Structure 1
Amino acid sequence: MSNLDAVTAWIENYRKAWESNDPEDIAGLFAEDGAYFTEPFAKPWLGRDAIVENWIKNADKPGTTTFEWHPVIITDEVAIIEATTKYPKKTFSNLWVLRLDNLGQARQFTEWWMQHPKS
């Protein structure tokens, strides 16, 4: 189940979890059997507990990024999000593939990210 309101709420909660690294904030994003692909062809983190554990192991320090996004396409089954993440010395373009369940939690989340060349 995807619509702009559900996707917007999910991304706002994702940013909250990104900034807090709080296990409850992270867990609330994902279905119990959710899959998080950190790259399209990477082995996914499977299940809410594994997602929380791996997120925390790989967490960004709060307050180190800015993030802008917009939807590319949203259907009942999938949302495609284009975004830019800026760190102090790096910038990334992101393409996210997000599949939400009826509760607004991610069944599957895949990140495609590309670092901008240094200017």
Structure 2
Amino acid sequence: MTDLEAVTRWVEGYVRAWHTNDPDDIGELFAEDAAYYPAPYREPWRGRDTIVRQWLGRVDASGEAAFTWFPITVGPDLSILQGTTTYPSVVYSNLWLIRLDTVGQCREFTEWWMRQTGDSG
């Protein structure tokens, strides 16, 4: 499997978990000792159980958001993607840093999200 295939599979799993909010779907994404940074420079959620619990504490309604993305760089240690999250009343630009292990689970994830205002300046 190429690095891009692994990242694509992981992102598809993330989007599935985002829509199902199923603890098993969420847990499958992350290594047991993973770190999830819900925003840069914040303390991460550490460990799969904590990640699942924190995720479920701030769920979106199923199907509420649409997500599109493309890779900026994909490598064996770090992959970066740019995405767009579209809700009915707001759109966010996303930047994700993903570090996968050898079995395709994420060992470290950092997300940036910025609300699009429509302004050019």
| TM norm structure 1 | 0.96
Distance 2:8 2:67 in 1: 13
Distance 1:9 1:75 in 2: 14
Counterpart residue number, 2:72:
72
SS at match of 1:110: strand
The number of aligned residues is 119
Distance 2:5 2:38 in 1: 24
SS at match of 2:98: strand
Q: Equivalences for 1:1-119 in 2 at 5 Å?
A: 3-117=3-117
Unmatched runs of 5 consecutive residues or more in structure 1: none
Offset at residue 75 of structure 1 (A):
1.1
- Structure 2 counterpart of 1:16, one-letter code: R
- Structure 2 counterpart of 1:20, one-letter code: T
- Structure 2 counterpart of 1:46, one-letter code: R
Q: Could you report, residue by residue, the CA deviation over 1:54-110 in whole angstroms, capped at 9, with x for unpaired residues?
A: 000011111101110000001111000000000111100000000000010000000
SS at match of 1:88: coil
Distance 1:77 1:42 in 2: 22
Runs (4+) of structure 1 exceeding 3 A deviation are none
Q: Could you report, residue by residue, the CA deviation over 1:19-73 in whole angstroms, capped at 9, with x for unpaired residues?
A: 0000000000000000000001111100000000000001111110111000000
Unmatched runs of 5 consecutive residues or more in structure 2: none
SS at match of 1:28: helix
Coordinate RMSD, CA, aligned: 1.4
- Structure 1 counterpart of 2:91, one-letter code: T
- Structure 2 counterpart of 1:10, one-letter code: W
State the identity as a percent. 47
Offset at residue 118 of structure 1 (A):
5.3
Distance 1:68 1:96 in 2: 12
